[in-house]
Chain A
Amino acid sequence: MVQITVNGVVQDLDVEPDMPLLWALRNELGLTGTKFGCGVAACGACTVHVNGNPVRSCVTPVSAVDGASITTIEGLAYAAGGGALTAVQQAWIEHQVPQCGYCQSGMVMAVSALMASNPAPSDADIDSAISNVCRCGTYPRVRNAIRSLRTA
C-alpha cells in the first residue's frame, strides 16, 4: 500500500510498487490531465510535480513517491494558492500557445517548476530546462510565453 497526496487529497493506492505514477494517476485515480506520450521519460507529456520538483511520472514507480505530495495539471492553480489559473497558464492563453494541446499539460508543469526555481530564466536556462517534446511545434510560443513571465 502506497500513500500519496495528490492535489491536496490523501490517496491510498493498493497497487504494485513498480506501477508508474502516471498509470496510478490516469487509471486508478481518474486524473487524465497528465498524459502518456512515450513511456520512457523522453517526451515530458507526463510531467507532474513531486514535492514541487518536476518529475516524469511514466518512469517514476509509485513506491518512489510514497508519502510525497504530488501536483498534477488539475491541481496546479490550487497548489499555487488558489485562483482559477496560474500566471503560467494565463500566459499560455495570452500567447495562444497550445495547438493540439496534448503535450501542454506536461509543458505547463515543466515551465511552472522552472519559474518557481528560477523566476528570470535566461534563454539558455529555458533551453536546458524545457526538454518536453511538442509535435505541433509550439516551441516559439512556449519561449515567448516564458519570456513574458520573467521577473526583473
Chain B
Amino acid sequence: MKLNRRRFLLGTTAFGGGLLIAYATTRPSKHELANRSSAPDQHFLTTWLRIDPDNTVTVIVPHSEMGQGVLTSLPMMAADEMDADWNLVKVEQAPATTLFANGVLVKGFAATMVGIPKFLDGVADFATMKLAEIMNMQITGGSSSVRFTGEHGMRVAGAAAKELLRTTAAGRWNVPVNEVTARLSHVYHVASGRSATFGELAADAAQLQPGKNPVLKQPGEFTLMGRNIPRVDIPAKVDGSAMFGIDARPAGMLYAAVKTSPVFGSKLVSVDHAPALQMRGVQKVVELEDAVAVVADNYWRAQKALDALNPLFAETDNDGESSASIFASHDAAITDGDTNKDIEEGDAAAALQSATTTVDATYRVPFLAHAAMEPMNCTVHFHDDLCDVWTGTQDNLGIRGRVASVADMDDDDVTVHAFYLGGGFGRRLPQSTNTIDQATLIAREFDVPVQTIWSREEDTRQDYYRPAVSSQFRAALDESNKVVAWENIYTGQNEPAEAAHTPYSIANKSIKWVDSPTHVPFGAWRSVAHSQHTFFMESFVDELAHQAGKSPYEFRLEMLTDKPRHARVLRAVAERANLQRVLPAGHALGIALQESFGSIAAQVAEVSIGSHGEVRVHRVSCALDCGRVVHPDTATSQVESGIIYGLTAALYGQISIANGRVVEGNFTDYQMLSLAESPDIDVVLLESEGVALGGLGEPATPPVAAAVANAVYVLTGQRIRELPLKNYRFTANPVESVANLL
C-alpha cells in the first residue's frame, strides 16, 4: 500500500489536516514499508489492520496490555466496524517503530480539554509541536486507549477496510457497491448469490484508495462493541505462560542487582568491589554515576553480593529533608509564595469579606509509590552494533528512544521486544522508569544479555512518586447557606490542570497554585492530580454541607443544576447505594463525585470503625458515565481496580521522607489492601448520547478517599484533612447518635 493512501485516510477522517502533515513529516522509508509487511502475500489496508489470505484479520495494537483489556477492546472496535468474524481475528502488539506511532493519541489529547499531559514531557516536544517527535510515541496512559485510539483510530480503520473490501468485490462481480454487504469476514452479493472471503479480496483491495469518510456504524448496528468478549490475554495469565519483562530469557543472560543513592540526586563516591567479587557466580561490579550494580549468573547471587557491598554516596544539600520539612515548605509557599492563577471567576475575596459564614481548612496528602507487582526490570543486549531490549513498558517506542539516547545509538538500531506489564499505573512510562537507563549502562559492559532487576525495596525507594500536596481552602456561605465563594491555594500544579476545578456552580471562585519544589522525583500515578484534589475538594464540600446543615448528597445536587450529566451520575449512585436504607449499627455512608479523563464517577462508601479504632470499608457503590461502554465487563473490572487502588492509598498510602531518603521499603511497611479488607463493590455504568468517550482506567480512583473520609466524619465527628487513615485511632460516636446524614 502506498503511503499517500494511508496518509489520506487518517488525515481526512478523525482530525482533519493535522495528521496529514504529521504523516508527511514522518514519511516511512520504503525499507520500513517492506518491514511492515513481513510476507509478500500479507496486505496492510491501514496502519492497524492486516488481512492474510487465510482470511484472518490481524489487528495491531499500539498500546500496552497492563490488565485493562486493551488487546481485546481495541481489536473488537476494529473488527466490529469491519464486520470481521471474531474467531478469525488475531491480535498483535505493535512493534516499536515509528511507523506504528500513535498519532491519534496525540491528537486526542490535543482535541479535548485534557490538553497535552505533562507526563508526556520528554517523549515529545509539545511546546513547538515538533511533529516528528510527536509521532515518536506509543504511549499507554491518560485512560486513552479506547476513547482515542479505539474510537478515532480502530473504528475508522475497520470501517475503511470494509469499504475497500466491498468496493473490490463490487468491481470483481460488476455489481453496484451498495448491493454488496459484509458479514463475519465474508463479502456477499445476495442477489447473485456470490460471496468471497476478506482474504480472497485483500490483495486487490490494497490497490484501492480508501474513501474520505468511511461510514461508522450506529450503536444499534454493533456486533462486538458492547459485548463481554472474553479477554484474549487471560488464558495465559492463569497457567503461568504469560511472559512479563522479568520473564525474558535470551540465551546466555546474566542478572544485575542495583543499589542507587538513597538520597535522590546523590552520587556514588566509592565502593570496594572485593566483597562481591569473591562470591559465587559474581561476574562484575559496575559503578554508575549514582548507583552500584552487581552482575551475576543468578539474580539472588547478584542481590546477595550487592548487599555485601558498602557503597559511599556523596552528602547532598537534601540530606536533612524530611516529610515535616517538605510540608513546612508547602505551608510557607501557600502563605508567602508567588501565586499562579488557575481560575478566577467573580470576586471571591469580596464575597468572603461580606459573607455571614466562612469555612477554612487545609488538607494534605503524602508522597505515594506505585508499587506495581512486578518489580522494575529491563533486559538489554548489545551485539553487532545493535541493541535488543526486553521489557514491559507503557510506551515501547519511548523506551526505544530512551535506550538509544543513553547508548548513543540510532533509534533504528534498537529493537524493543514488548512484554506484558506486571502493573503500570504510571510507573512504566519511560520518564518514570529510571531502571531503563541503568539496565542499558550495565549491559554495555557485557556482550551477553543482562537482566537488571530492582529489589522491592529499590522499587519503593527509587520511584517517581505521586507528589505530596497541600491545599488550603476558604469558602463563604450566604444567609440561605448557599456557597457563594470558593478560594483555594494548592502546591505544585500537576497534570491535568483541571484536577483542582470543582464542578459545582459557585458564583465566585479563586483557584491558585504555588510552587513548592522538592528533591523527590514525581511522576504520573493512576489518575495523576485528580487523586489528591478530589480528596481535598470533595471533603471540603462535605464540610460546607455539614456547616450548612444540609444532606451532603442534596447539597451537591443543588450545585449541579447546570451539569446534568454530573447530577445524573450522583442520583444514580444514590439510588444504587439506597441512601435511605437502614444501615447496620455503627455503619455510615459518605459520598463523593469527580469528573476525570472525560468520565464522571460518583461513589458512596459504607464504613464503620473497627475494634482497634481502624477504618473498615464494607461496600463501595460507584456510578460512572463514560459516554459509551465498549466492553462492560472490562469496564467494570477497571472501576473495581480503580477503587481498590484509591482505597489502598486512602487507608495505607504513605511514603515518608527522612534524612532526604524514603523510609518505606516493602509491603511490610508500605501496606497494600488485602482481599479480607476489600469491600463489596457495586458498579453501575451509565451511557450518554452525543458525548465524547471517557476513560475507564483512572476515573474510579479519585472519589474513593473522600467518600470514605466523609463517612468517617459521620461516624466520629472527626474531619480527616490528612491521609492516610492508618495514622488515626478513631473512637466512634455512640451508635444511636450516628444519623444517616446522606
Which A residues lie at the B interface, using CB under 8 A?
Answer: 15-16, 19-20, 22-23, 26-28, 30-40, 42-43, 45, 72-74, 76-77, 85, 89, 92-93, 96-105, 108, 126-128, 130-143
A101 contacts B237, C-beta separation under 8 Å: yes
Taken residue by residue from 502 to 530, chain B's Cβ proximity to chain A (1 for < 8 Å, 0 otherwise) reads as 00000000000000000000000000000
B373 contacts A33, C-beta separation under 8 Å: no
Is B192 among interface residues, defined by CB-CB distance under 8 A?
A: no
Contacts of B645 in A (CB 8 A): 135-137
In-complex Cβ contact of A37 among B300, B375, B678 (8 A):
B375
B674 contacts A40, C-beta separation under 8 Å: no
Q: A74-B239, A126-B675 are in contact. Are A139 and B230 (CB under 8 A)?
A: no
In-complex Cβ contact of B240 among A74, A127, A137 (8 A):
A74
Q: A19-B300, A28-B298 are in contact. Are A102 and B423 (CB under 8 A)?
A: yes
Is B10 among interface residues, defined by CB-CB distance under 8 A?
A: no
Stretch of B32-40, B81-89, B241-249, B400-408 that contacts chain A? B241-249
Contacts of A126 in B (CB 8 A): 675
Contacts of B424 in A (CB 8 A): 100
In-complex Cβ contact of B234 among A31, A76, A92, A103 (8 A):
A92
Q: Which of A100, A131, A142, A143 has the most CB of B within 10 A?
A: A100
Q: Give 6 new A-B contacts, CB below 8 A, not counting A77-B239, A101-B234, A136-B644.
A: A30-B249, A39-B455, A98-B234, A100-B373, A100-B422, A102-B374
In-complex Cβ contact of B249 among A32, A97, A98, A131 (8 A):
A32
Q: A40-B456, A99-B641 are in contact. Are A104 and B667 (CB under 8 A)?
A: no
Contacts of B242 in A (CB 8 A): 101
* Smallest CB gap from A33: residue in B: B240
* Smallest CB gap from B668: residue in A: A42
User: Please, could you name 25 A-B residue pairs with CB atoms under 8 Å apart, sorted by A?
Assistant: A26-B299, A27-B255, A35-B246, A36-B246, A40-B666, A40-B668, A45-B373, A76-B239, A93-B230, A93-B234, A96-B231, A97-B234, A98-B233, A100-B66, A101-B244, A102-B244, A102-B423, A127-B675, A130-B675, A135-B371, A135-B373, A137-B648, A140-B678, A140-B680, A141-B637
Q: Give the secondary structure class of B's interface.
A: loop
Taken residue by residue from 420 to 454, chain B's Cβ proximity to chain A (1 for < 8 Å, 0 otherwise) reads as 11111100000000000000000000000000010
A126-B674 Cα distance, complex, nearest whole Å: 11
CB distance from B289 to the nearest CB of A (A): 26
Is B238 among interface residues, defined by CB-CB distance under 8 A?
A: yes
Is B372 among interface residues, defined by CB-CB distance under 8 A?
A: yes
Q: A36-B375, A43-B373 are in contact. Are A133 and B67 (CB under 8 A)?
A: no
Number of residues of chain B lying within 8 A (CB) of chain A? 63
CB distance from A71 to the nearest CB of B (A): 11
Nearest first, the 3 closest Cβ-Cβ pairs linking A and B are A33-B240, A137-B644, A99-B67
In-complex Cβ contact of B676 among A38, A99, A128, A141 (8 A):
A128
B666 contacts A42, C-beta separation under 8 Å: yes
A138-B455 Cα distance, complex, nearest whole Å: 24
Contacts of B235 in A (CB 8 A): 93
Contacts of B372 in A (CB 8 A): 100, 102, 135
Is B673 among interface residues, defined by CB-CB distance under 8 A?
A: yes
CB distance from A143 to the nearest CB of B (A): 7
Q: Which of A22, A36, A103 has the most CB of B within 10 A?
A: A36
CB distance from B156 to the nearest CB of A (A): 28
A142-B242 Cα distance, complex, nearest whole Å: 19
Is B280 among interface residues, defined by CB-CB distance under 8 A?
A: yes
Contacts of B633 in A (CB 8 A): 96
CB distance from A109 to the nearest CB of B (A): 9
Taken residue by residue from 488 to 502, chain B's Cβ proximity to chain A (1 for < 8 Å, 0 otherwise) reads as 000000000000000
Contacts of B239 in A (CB 8 A): 33, 73-74, 76-77, 85, 89
CB distance from B172 to the nearest CB of A (A): 42
A43-B422 Cα distance, complex, nearest whole Å: 14
Taken residue by residue from 220 to 241, chain B's Cβ proximity to chain A (1 for < 8 Å, 0 otherwise) reads as 0000000010110111111111
Contacts of B422 in A (CB 8 A): 35, 100-103
In-complex Cβ contact of A20 among B297, B300, B371, B667 (8 A):
B300
Contacts of A141 in B (CB 8 A): 637, 640
Contacts of B231 in A (CB 8 A): 96
